[in-house]
Homo-oligomer: A and B are copies of this chain.
Amino acid sequence: MKFCSQCGASVTLRVPAGDNLPRHVCDACETIHYLNPKVVAGCILEWQDRVLLCRRAIEPRYGLWTLPAGFMENGESALAAAAREALEEAHAESENLRLYGVYSLLHVSQVYLMFQGRLKDGYARPGEESLEVRLCAETEIPWDQIAFTVVHETLRQYFAERRTGQFHHHLGDIIREADQRFRIHRHY
């Protein structure tokens, strides 16, 4: 952020009075511009012993596999956002969505809300942002071609629990270390 979105003047990064973190503050109108994490809503959609994966037709991670997920919009509910992403990326209708995992991605300031639900009628086909969609059993998951650590972690937890027949909620943080590797802090 270089300019004030309210008046167009330049902004300075400084700690406003009564605050304890630097913010972008307008040099002219003094508006304080806060930058906050964005919410990504996504879902594991189940059909028999399979889950729906999409192969990305967009950057980043073009060509790699992911769960339907994307940025939540203003005025939308988290559940509606997850369902919309499945529709947009895979023409997939979802049923019985429940929140499964919440992951904070500190390096990109994103919060993933990952739902679990049923793929209605077992039907899916690629949306504009997908090259291909696939219903994968656990043995068919392309583990070394998953687009994002958070998706890998969600699928890993899901299949580990699926074998036990008991699903639990998960809360985790994903942290990028200095060597660029990701560390996963699993709170539960």
Contacts and interface: CB of A to CB of B under 8 A. Distances in A.
Interface of A: 1-11, 18, 21, 33-39, 71-79, 98-99, 102, 104, 106-107, 109, 111, 113, 128, 169, 171, 173, 185, 187-188
8 contacts: A2-B8, A5-B5, A5-B11, A36-B73, A37-B76, A74-B109, A76-B106, A77-B106
Nearest to A101: B99
A38 B78 CA distance: 12
A37 B39 contact: yes
Contacts of A169: 99, 169
Contacts of A102: 78, 99, 102, 113
B8 A74 contact: no
Given A39-B111, A76-B109, A102-B113, 4 more contacts: A1-B5, A37-B76, A76-B106, A99-B102
Total identical chains: 2
A74 B34 CA distance: 9
Contacts of A11: 5
Given A79-B171, A169-B99, A33 B21 contact: no
Most B CB contacts (10 A, CB to CB) among A7, A18, A187 go to A187
Contact of A104 (B76, B128, B187): B76
A76 B173 CA distance: 9
